[in-house]
Structure 1
Amino acid sequence: MNTSENQNAIFPKGERAPADYFTGTAWLKMLVQANDIFNTSIGNVTFEPGTRNNWHKHPGGQILIVTDGVGYYQEKGKPIQTIRRGDVIQIPPDVVHWHGASHNSEMTHLAINTNTQKGIVEWLERVTDEEYNKI
């Protein structure tokens, strides 16, 4: 399933995500910027097939809501999980992890960064092809 031409997208793709933090092509549309009232940021992220972000962690935690496609999520030291439209992943503060599209499908999710007063993200090393292909 490749949903790159999905005309039912909820939000626009936005701008290309920084290549420093992604292997492959991803798109980011920020929907809510962090502020002192809500302490939350929300971004709509679309990963092309085979694309993933680097290992990273969120000081305030993160919630992912998959809105389209099929992807992968992995916490350091644990097996890769397949994630699909409708899945909700709650990531506690400072848990090192990565997420991205499966080999053959785009994947879009809402990335909700909570407690942003503690910091939003700390980027780490790239996910290697060997790590990604362990699915």
Structure 2
Amino acid sequence: MEHVPSTSTAKAPAERFTGDVYLNPIQTPTDPARLAAALVRFTPGARTNWHSHTNGQTLYITDGVGLVGTRDGSVVRVSAGETVQCPPGEEHWHGATDSTLMAHIAMVVGDSDGDGTTWLEPVTTDEYAHALTTLGH
């Protein structure tokens, strides 16, 4: 057993996120296990860029209300206690609504090159607004 002390909160990199997002790493991928996990906190309106994961991603919502969207225009509204599973290779984004914060534990199983995430372009203001409208927000 290993007791791991709390990690410091870090501001998420602006080249991968829109708005104010904060990260607390939980687990980094190390051999033989390749789990990467982090607590991610999004302020209202904040969101990830489009991205995908080699082996998929699981998001467990811990607080607030958020959105998860895919390239085909599907959007789900998520709240505390819910889980979203994004399949391998699916381009998606996630973040808070425009009026509430959202926090989740993001979990991925990495590959030999790291966490298996491919970061893409930002979600546009129009794409985000459409997602909010789709859900009647």
TM over 0.5: yes
Q: 1:129 aligns with which of 112, 125, 129?
A: 125
Post-superposition Cα deviations, 1:19-55, rounded to whole Å, max 9, x if no partner, equal: 0111100001111010112211101100000000100
For the aligned residue pairs, the C-alpha RMSD in angstroms reads: 1.6
User: Which residue number corresponds to residue 8 of structure 1?
Assistant: none
Stretches of 4+ moved more than 3 A in 1? 115-119
Shift in CA distance, 85/12, structure 1 to aligned 2, threshold 3 Å: farther
User: Which residue number corresponds to residue 135 of structure 2?
Assistant: none
- Percentage of identical aligned residues: 35
C-alpha separation in 1, matches of 2:81 and 2:35: 21
| SS across alignment from 1:19 | coil
Long gaps (5+) in structure 2: 1-5, 133-137
C-alpha separation in 1, matches of 2:95 and 2:14: 14
Q: CA deviation at 1:84?
A: 0.5
Indicate conservation of the 8 Å contact 2:7/2:26, yes or no: no
Query: Is 1:26 paired with 2:21?
Result: yes
Number of aligned positions between the proteins: 125
Indicate conservation of the 8 Å contact 1:17/1:26, yes or no: yes
Shift in CA distance, 122/131, structure 1 to aligned 2, threshold 3 Å: same
